[in-house]
């Protein structure tokens, strides 16, 4: 049997751009009724680090608690600070308990907050109502 030729591909190391060069970044908190997600981006919008309920070890109903949201955001802030983050713009989204927890954690985090914005989608006219029932 002839042996198959295997090409060896040299792996190139990616440039280490996964950190906050200017010390500024953006924090996006998505808080749903079931869980909370937080992600940190640089000024151009590239995600640098993130955290969620699953990565912090929460399962089931504990994911939706304010304590879980506090833990998630604390871990995310710790990761981002280790990568050089010093000032942030904060964007909160969703109706869950993570929005209030995010604000409480950010007060004690030691980061400069430039902007605090709530980007929750609000329907202007809503969905079309069901047709009326005819008996």
Q: Which two tokens stand for residue 91?
A: 């964007």
Q: Which two tokens stand for residue 4?
A: 């198959």
Q: Tens of pLDDT along 72-105?
A: 999 999 999 999 889 999 999 999 888 888 889 9
How confident is the model at residue 12, as a pLDDT?
57
Query: Is the domain covering 24-118 a CATH 3.60.9.10 domain?
Result: no
How confident is the model at residue 2, as a pLDDT?
64
Nearest to 25 by CA among 104, 79, 66: 79
Q: What are the residue ranges spanned by the domains of the chain?
A: 24-118
How confident is the model at residue 15, as a pLDDT?
47
Q: Tens of pLDDT along 27-63?
A: 999 999 999 999 999 999 899 999 999 889 999 989 9
For residues 68 and 53, is the Cβ–Cβ distance under 8 A?
Answer: yes
Is the pLDDT reported for residue 121 higher than 50? yes
Q: What would you report as the CA-atom Rg of the chain, rounded to the nearest whole angstrom?
A: 21
How confident is the model at residue 69, as a pLDDT?
92
Q: What is the pTM of this model?
A: 0.78
Q: Cα(73)–Cα(79) distance, rounded to whole angstroms?
A: 10
């Amino acid at each position: 049997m002839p042996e198959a030729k295997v090409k060896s591909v040299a792996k190139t190391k990616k440039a280490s751009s996964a950190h906050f060069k200017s010390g500024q970044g953006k924090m996006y908190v998505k808080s749903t009724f079931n869980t909370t997600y937080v992600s940190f981006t640089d000024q151009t919008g590239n995600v640098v680090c993130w955290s969620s309920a699953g990565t912090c070890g929460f399962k089931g109903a504990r994911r939706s608690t304010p304590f879980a949201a506090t833990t998630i955001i604390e871990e995310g802030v710790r990761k981002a600070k280790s990568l050089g983050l010093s000032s942030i713009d904060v964007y909160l989204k969703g109706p869950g308990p993570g929005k209030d927890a995010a604000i409480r954690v950010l007060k004690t985090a030691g980061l400069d907050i430039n902007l605090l914005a709530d980007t929750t989608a609000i329907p202007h006219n809503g969905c079309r109502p069901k047709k009326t029932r005819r008996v």
